[in-house]
């Protein structure tokens, strides 16, 4: 008989569906989670929504400009459409827009409709991961993954809930920057916290650069926590109600600029490839 003990078999990988709008933020999360040995990204649900599910692209873009101004709408275009192209040419790897190489992709304005629920159920996921996803996930979809649904939120919950907490923190000088991985509930940004991490950002950093770093760090947090989630960890309740901010207004965008802040620097696009590297303080 051999004296060498047999190695225990590796536990099966958890099947995860990533929900995202794509762009740099979604690409950074997808890249890190694909490298996690405990996870198998079995599908991507990519949002094609612009504000409301009933809006087409042009109506949605017009409404976005009305709500937040042209500068902010252009920033969103750079963070998604332009960033998709840059992710492809720089080697970061764009979030796919069609199925291929064994990775099903579902593009939808509404994950919660019959087609979205059918697609998600067919994936038989253990987890759903939401990162830079502009759709609320309703109870029927939340109930499908076996171990629950997780969100990467680019702020330290319970403070700074809402659609762009980095913008609000730069505008108001508070709360501090950070990222939270938390379980999702029907109420936005209210679920139990799996992990949090504060970060420091350079005084002249843009919304784009800080948000990219936060999603990169959030993916790292989530990958590190996967083993405990697989073991049944449910996180800790949030310590308060916090605050919620909707889309920035044109006047807020002007105020940010007057304070010396920026949505996006040209240098952010020039050094685009650097956003995948950890340890860089934008």
* pLDDT tens readout for residues 127-158: 999 999 999 999 999 999 999 999 999 999 99
Q: Which of 167, 151, 169, 150 is nearest to 159 (CA)?
A: 169
The structure tokens listed for 110 are 């509404």
Domain, as residue range, for 255: 14-276
In a domain, 5, yes or no: no
For residue 212, give the H/E element and its range. Answer: helix 207-230
Contact present, 150 and 29 (Cβ < 8 Å): no
In a domain, 45, yes or no: yes
Query: CA-CA-CA-CA torsion for 175, 264, 256, 70, nearest 10 degrees?
Result: -130
| Pairwise CA distance, residues 163 & 151, whole Å | 13
- pLDDT band for position 1 (cuts 50, 70, 90): very low
Q: Is a pLDDT exceeding 80 seen at residue 41?
A: yes
pTM of the model: 0.94
Q: How many domains does the chain have?
A: 1
- pLDDT band for position 11 (cuts 50, 70, 90): confident
Q: Is a pLDDT exceeding 90 seen at residue 179?
A: yes
In a domain, 42, yes or no: yes
Q: Per-residue pLDDT tens for 87-132?
A: 999 999 999 999 998 899 999 999 999 999 999 999 999 999 999 9
Q: Per-residue pLDDT tens for 54-91?
A: 999 999 999 999 999 999 999 999 999 999 999 999 99
In a domain, 2, yes or no: no
In a domain, 140, yes or no: yes
In a domain, 92, yes or no: yes
The per-residue pLDDT for 281 is 58
Paired with 44 in beta bridges are 18, 105
In a domain, 26, yes or no: yes
With 0-12 / 13-18 / 19 or more C-beta atoms within 10 angstroms meaning exposed / middle / buried, residue 44 is: buried
The per-residue pLDDT for 3 is 56
Q: What is the CATH number of the domain that holds 207?
A: 3.40.50.170
In a domain, 281, yes or no: no
């Amino acid at each position: 008989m051999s004296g060498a003990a047999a190695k225990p078999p590796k536990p099966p990988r958890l099947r995860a569906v990533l929900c995202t709008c794509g762009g740099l933020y979604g690409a950074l999360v997808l890249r890190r989670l694909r490298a996690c040995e405990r996870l198998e990204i079995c599908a991507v649900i990519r949002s094609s929504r612009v504000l409301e599910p009933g809006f087409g692209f042009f109506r949605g873009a017009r409404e976005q400009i009305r709500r937040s101004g042209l500068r902010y709408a252009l920033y969103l275009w750079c963070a998604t459409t332009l960033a998709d192209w840059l992710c492809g040419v720089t080697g970061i790897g764009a979030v796919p827009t069609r199925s291929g190489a064994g990775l099903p992709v579902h593009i939808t304005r509404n994950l919660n409709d019959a087609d979205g629920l059918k697609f998600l159920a067919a994936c038989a996921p253990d987890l759903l991961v939401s990162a830079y996803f502009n759709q609320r996930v309703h109870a029927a979809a939340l109930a499908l993954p076996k171990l629950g649904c997780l969100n990467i939120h680019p702020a330290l919950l319970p403070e700074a809930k809402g659609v762009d907490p980095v913008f609000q923190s730069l505008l108001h000088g508070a709360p501090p920057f950070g990222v939270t991985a938390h379980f999702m509930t029907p109420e936005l940004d209210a679920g139990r916290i799996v992990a949090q991490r504060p970060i420091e950002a350079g005084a002249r950093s843009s919304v784009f650069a800080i948000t990219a770093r936060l999603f990169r760090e959030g993916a790292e947090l989530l990958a590190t926590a996967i083993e405990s989630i697989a073991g049944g960890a449910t996180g800790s309740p949030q310590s308060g109600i916090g605050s919620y901010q909707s889309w920035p207004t044109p006047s807020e965008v002007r105020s940010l600029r007057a304070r010396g802040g920026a949505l996006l620097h040209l240098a952010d696009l020039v050094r685009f490839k650097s956003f995948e590297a950890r340890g860089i303080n934008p």
